[in-house]
């Protein structure tokens, strides 16, 4: 989608530190890490938020979670634990309107979040 920063990353129009890519998803380091490990996993297809997950695009969600599982193993945080977060909408703190999953790890993560 035009003017979407994550579509631009998916299309190699703006740079990122890429950890994984295939035909459907891309994973890259968050530019403002909130933890020692902070990776964003996104569908290449523009989906605005969780509100837009539906029957026609549901398979990408399982693919994203399989990707997250692989990355957590690659980064060796699978055993110690990590967190996956998707902020949604204004009250959820979503600042980029292209569906993304934060993979956070490498430190103890407090609960509940702010």
Query: Closer CB to Zn ion, residue 96 or residue 109?
Result: 96
- Please identify which of the residues 32, 38, 46, 100 carries the catalytic annotation: 100
Query: Closer CB to ligand AMP, residue 61 or residue 96?
Result: 96
Q: By CB under 6 A, tell whether 16 contacts ligand AMP.
A: yes
Is 100 labeled as catalytic in the residue annotation? yes
Q: By CB under 6 A, tell whether 87 contacts ligand AMP.
A: yes
Q: By CB under 5 A, tell whether 4 contacts Zn ion.
A: yes
Q: Each residue of 35-73: b (16+ CB within 10 Å) or e?
A: bebbbbbbbbebbbbeeebeeeeeebbeebeebbeebbe
Residue 46 touches which of Zn ion, ligand AMP, none (Cβ within 5-8 Å per kind): Zn ion
Piece in contact with ligand AMP (CB under 6 A), picked from 19-27, 53-61, 73-81, 86-94: 86-94
Q: By CB under 6 A, tell whether 2 contacts ligand AMP.
A: no
Query: Closer CB to Zn ion, residue 82 or residue 101?
Result: 101
Q: In what order do the strands lie in the sheet with 82-85?
A: 18-21, 25-29, 37-43, 101-105, 82-85
Q: Can you name the residues that pair with 105 across neighbouring β-strands?
A: 37, 82
Distance (Å, whole) CA 86 – CA 65: 12
């Amino acid at each position: 989608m035009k003017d979407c920063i994550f579509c631009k990353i998916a299309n190699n129009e703006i740079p990122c530190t890429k950890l994984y890519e295939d035909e459907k998803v891309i994973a890259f380091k968050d530019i403002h890490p909130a933890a020692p490990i902070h990776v964003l996993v996104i569908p290449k297809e523009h989906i605005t938020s969780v509100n837009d997950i539906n029957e026609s695009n549901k398979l990408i969600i399982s693919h994203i979670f399989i990707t997250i599982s692989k990355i957590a193993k690659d980064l060796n945080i699978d055993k110690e634990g990590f967190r996956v977060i998707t902020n949604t909408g204004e009250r959820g703190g979503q600042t980029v309107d292209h569906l993304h999953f934060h993979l956070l790890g490498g430190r103890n993560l407090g609960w509940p979040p702010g």
